[in-house]
Amino acid sequence: MRDTFVLCVALALVACDGSTPASTDAGADAGEPPADAGPPRDWPFAEVPARTEPEPGIEREVLLVDGVAAPASPTTGAATPAGYDRFPIVRFRAVGAPDVRAIVIAMPGLFGGAGSYEPLARHLVRRSIAAGEPIEVWVIDRRSNLLEDLRGLDAAEAMRDADVARGYYFRGETVGGVAFDGFVEQEDVPYMSEWGLAVHLGDLRALIDRVPRVAQQARVFLMGHSLGASMTEAFAAWRFADGARGAELLAGMILVDGAMRAEAVTEEEYRDGTMGPFGPAAGLTTIRAASRYLALPLLGIEVYPRAEIAAMDAIYDPAAVNVDRGRAEVLGALMSLPARRIPPMTNAAAFGWAFDDGSNGLSFAAVSMGQPVGGPVEEYASLFGATLVRPSDSSATYAWIDAPDTDPPERTPIANLAASWIDGRTNFAEWYFPQRLTLDLSAVGGLDVPEDGWAAAEGLRAFDGALVDAPVLAVAAALVPPEAYDPSRARMAPVGEGRPRAGASRASPEGFAVLDVTDQTHIDPLTATDDAANPVPAAVLEFVYANAASGAITAP
């Protein structure tokens, strides 16, 4: 099924024109002032520091990196504003350790932001410190994350008060005198139609080039989750304008529950769109005319700040029972229930119901995070094709048993997923995912783009899939079983000369190792606890050490 399964599930939830549904009535959000309370509140401005220490010995820093200049849209003439030809990264490293054995660059998946890697990145750095050979992890926030207005969320995090964000986004309140200007509409970002694969891989190359060229093949690893794994394979097969192949710039590739599709769409499908088993997918003509980013039709863009607010509530006041109509409407949409039938629940339970794989049918966003208590549940056939559970007594008050406390323990504690949503000047999600990126990935399936063909004329330079000679670690979780990596394994060359495992066949684990964690959800490999039951962090670090050059370099 490969990455197309993940993509098709996602596209099943995407409106064909990429439009955002009408906002839900947020008038009864928790903490709403009474009608006679006077003008909306102005919260003081507060900001999360760019550099923090999320745990002793580990530093997290958010940086902006200059990317490539995106071309203007040939349809509208709109050019990317200069401030958006760059992108954030989140850098995880050992405090006071400038010399590192390797650098792992991580690419999020569909709708994913840098925060989605928060627990795994910290696990890797922590383990490398204990091993005496520190590594760094640089997680990419794609340039579209710069479109997100995080002022209210950052202030709420800095003040440890979720009501700041609730007021800013949904009650017309201000932060430091500044009001939320609304979510970005499709017509506001015509230049996004050109934010496709060439632009994003150009941005990635710009980041890798921060490392001296002589050290890239020796010490730089590219890790991609879900659709990010497809981007990782595409980068390795890409031939840049200077003649460099992506694989030459990498010491190894880590594919986490994602793989490149085996076949490409036709030119007609690329331009006019396709109709698949889960609904229509826009082609280039529609993307340039009207539909620049993907939006969830059941939930809308506003679900992202609501999810982050719910994460704050779950961490800052987990046992409280809030009355929050916006949150109830989101849960109702997920559970096929009217909002009025969503029962009282603790903040921890609301977050659990929203993201646990037993109750969240969005497989690309679910984790194994515990179980509800306090009232009965019922099974039902969800809109997403799975049998799920939901609360069945609207008068009961539900609480939540966290993942480590279930019998047997589940994978992802609430604190881990909440940290992915909250921590730092970023978050778990990408509010405005460029639709052009998924389209371009569909056009380079098989990674053997003809150099004189239509895809190459569109700037898609994935010419060299058969020449990829970097070693691979593939992680098979809920959506991509081990055998789904076979086409990737079959297309690649043996491990190349000058690498620690030169000559290794792709049939051997030294050339292409597959870690089977199909008992984990699609997200668990990024968010699960680092313990004996979770082999992912150890396997990734072992792969890095085995394929990096000996010694160390001073990190740029």
- The residues, ordered by sequence, that sit 6+ positions from 132 with a Cβ below 8 Å of its Cβ are none
Task: Tell me what pLDDT residue 9 has.
Answer: 39
The structural domain count of the chain equals 2
Backbone angles phi, psi at 143, to 5 degrees: -55, -30
First CA to last CA distance, the chain: 39
**If DSSP codes are grouped into helix, strand and coil, which group holds residue 553?**
strand
Across the range 449-457, mean pLDDT stands at 98
Assess whether 406 and 439 both reside in one domain.
no
Count the alpha carbons within 13 Å of 286 in the hemisphere toward its beta carbon: 21
Task: Pull the structure tokens for residue 530.
Answer: 């680092």
CATH number of the domain to which 438 belongs: 3.40.50.1820
pLDDT tier at 132 (50, 70, 90 boundaries)? Answer: very high
Mean pLDDT estimate for the chain: 92
Assess whether 289 and 320 both reside in one domain.
no
Instruction: Report whether 22 contacts 93 (CB < 8 A).
Output: no
429-447 b/e (C-beta count within 10 Å ≥ 16 → b): bbbbbbbbbbbbbbbbbbb
Q: Which domain holds residue 121?
A: 2-22+42-296+429-542
Residue 144 DSSP one-character state: G
Task: Tell me what pLDDT residue 221 has.
Answer: 98
Token pair 């050019």: residue: 79
Instruction: Report whether 187 contacts 52 (CB < 8 A).
Output: no
Instruction: Report whether 308 contacts 422 (CB < 8 A).
Output: yes
Question: Measured between alpha carbons, how far is 94 from 128 in angstroms, rounded to an integer?
Answer: 9
DSSP annotation string for 171-238: S--EETTEE---PPPGGG-GGGGG-SHHHHHHHHHHHHTTS-HHHHHHHEEEEEETHHHHHHHHHHH-
Question: Measured between alpha carbons, how far is 498 from 217 in angstroms, rounded to an integer?
Answer: 9
443, part of any domain: yes
Distance of CA 87 to the CA centre of its chain: 15
Across the range 352-357, mean pLDDT stands at 97
551, part of any domain: no
Backbone angles phi, psi at 254, to 5 degrees: -125, 115
Count the alpha carbons within 13 Å of 38 in the hemisphere toward its beta carbon: 2
Assess whether 411 and 434 both reside in one domain.
no
550, part of any domain: no
Assess whether 410 and 446 both reside in one domain.
no
Assess whether 93 and 236 both reside in one domain.
yes
**If DSSP codes are grouped into helix, strand and coil, which group holds residue 420?**
helix
**If DSSP codes are grouped into helix, strand and coil, which group holds residue 391?**
strand
pLDDT in tens, 225-252: 999 999 999 999 999 999 999 999 999 9
548, part of any domain: no
Rounded to the nearest 5 percent, the helix, strand and coil shares of the chain are 35, 20, 45
pLDDT in tens, 149-168: 999 999 999 999 999 999 99
Assess whether 253 and 356 both reside in one domain.
no
In this prediction the pTM is 0.94
Assess whether 449 and 530 both reside in one domain.
yes
Across the range 203-229, mean pLDDT stands at 97
pLDDT in tens, 183-202: 999 999 999 999 999 999 99
Across the range 314-343, mean pLDDT stands at 95
3-state secondary structure labels for all residues of 442-484:
HHCCCCCCCCCCHHHHCCCCCCCHHHCCCCEEEEECCCCCHHH
